[in-house]
Amino acid sequence: MSGTWISTRAWLLMLPLLVVMIGVIGWPLVDTVRLSFTDAKLVGTTGSFVGVDNYERMLTGSSFQRALVTTTWFAVVSVAAEMVLGVLAALLLNQRFRGRTALRALMILPWALPTVVNATLWRLIYNPEYGALNAALTQLGLIDSYRSWLGEPGSALTALIIADCWKNFPLVALIALAALQAVPRDITAAALVDGAGPFNRFRFVIMPYLAGPLLVALVLRTIEAFKVFDIIWVMTRGGPANSTRTLSILVYQEAFSFQRAGAGASLALIVTLLVTVLAAAYAALLRRAAGAS
């Protein structure tokens, strides 16, 4: 069979997927670009061309800058915490102890819990009047009176980050554990015989096996964290006093609450660009890491 026929056949088989992708992703993306240069409303007027007005207004506005800082903080802190906790949990799960299999199975629970259910659960835990956190801390004598964890700008974002970490660190742990199990036993044994301490064994014997999978997890988690919407919408809707308003929440408010489709589109594209740059930087990092090992 000739090469042309084989690749024509391949394209034919891919046609349904490509049609769907163009319909639900390609066209909307192009249309978002078009809308971002107009003052279109969500319903009613189709809007007229306004050049880069939307971009200018968004980039110089204080809400965008604040949302960018909030999103970055959320992404950096939650992903860093998930990585550290995940690796520590994986190192533990790689030890030999009774009940290890059961504990490994339990790690799937937070991951399997739907994001909205997780957000709802933590919202109940943080409840200012009847929440379990207030009850526990009071009964332990750590706080004198009940606090509104999600109602105070000083604590809301941290409370969200904890809820997000709880759901996502087990996933990092499972990925890291799979990598740890690939470390050949005789290498760790040899390092032990050579008198390497625990830190050196981790840094020079185990880390090379962990680096690749952890980097992939880091990339995917960072992109997810940068796009975060669900957990914040259910727990705080971006409040109080916009202290948890991330970029996705801001786009939602612009485009759907205030119905400013054009402005919302420009903001959405700025977010897309940021995520793309982030992903490209990571991809370069990954390629270098792959080349080094």
Partner 1 sequence: MERQGPLFTAFVYASALLLTAVVLAPVIWLFVMSISPAADLSAKPLNWWPSEIDLSRYRTLLSAVENSAGAAFIASLMNSLQVAGMATLAAIAVAVPAAWAVSRTPAVSWSLYAVIATYMLPPVALAVPLYMGLAYFGLLNSVFGLALVYLTILAPFTTWLLKSGFDAIPREIESAAMIDGARLDQILRLLTLPLAAPVMATSALFAFLLAWDEFFYALLFTSDLRAKTLTVAIADLAGGRVSDYGLIATAGVLAALPPVLIGLIMQRALISGLTSGGVKG
What part of residues 90-149 is at the interface with partner 1 (CB under 8 A)? 92, 95, 97, 99-100, 103, 105-117, 119-125, 127, 129-130, 132, 135, 138-139
Element (H, E) at 122: helix 115-125
For 260, the token pair is 């400013």
Element (H, E) at 5: helix 3-21
DSSP state of 205: I
* Nearest Cα to Cα of residue 160 among 246, 208, 232: 232
Within 13 Å, how many C-alpha atoms sit on residue 210's CB side? Answer: 22
**Interaction of residue 276 with partner 1, rule CB under 8 A:** yes
237 contributes a contact to partner 1 by CB under 8 A: yes
Instruction: List the one residue from 2, 43, 292, 293 that touches partner 1 (CB under 8 A).
Output: 43
Q: Is residue 25 part of the contact set for partner 1 (CB under 8 A)? A: yes
Q: State the minimum distance, in angstroms, from the CB of residue 290 to partner 1.
A: 13
At residue 133's C-alpha, the angle toward residues 137 and 145, to 5°, is: 50
Backbone phi and psi for residue 145, each to the nearest 5 degrees, phi listed first: -130, 160
* Burial (0-12, 13-18, 19+ Cβ within 10 Å), 234: middle
Q: Identify which of residues 46 and 65 has a Cβ nearer to partner 1 in the complex.
A: 46
Q: Does 7 bind partner 1 (CB under 8 A)?
A: yes
Residue 49 DSSP label: B
Min dist CB 152 to partner 1, Å, is 18
As a residue count, the chain comes to: 293
Rounded Cα–Cα distance for residues 195 and 45 (Å):
74
Size of the site for partner 1 (CB under 8 A): 97
**Which one of 39, 211, 233, 243 is in contact with partner 1 (CB under 8 A)?**
233
Site string for partner 1, 177-216 (x = CB under 8 A): -xx--------xx--x--------------------x--x
Q: For the CB of residue 288, give the shortest distance to partner 1 in the complex, in Å.
A: 18
Instruction: Return the number of the residue (223 or 289) whose C-beta is nearest partner 1.
Output: 223
Residues numbered 59 to 88 that lie near partner 1 (CB under 8 A) are none
Site membership for partner 1, residue 27 (CB under 8 A): yes
Nearer to partner 1, 9 or 288 (CB): 9
Decide if residue 48 touches partner 1 (CB under 8 A). Answer: no
Q: Which residue has the tokens 């727990």?
A: 235
R_g of the chain computed on alpha carbons: 24
**Under rule CB under 8 A, which residues in 160-179 are in contact with partner 1?**
166, 170-171, 174-175, 178-179
Instruction: Fill in the DSSP letter of residue 22.
Output: I
Stretch that binds partner 1, among 59-67, 149-157, 233-241, 284-292 (CB under 8 A): 233-241
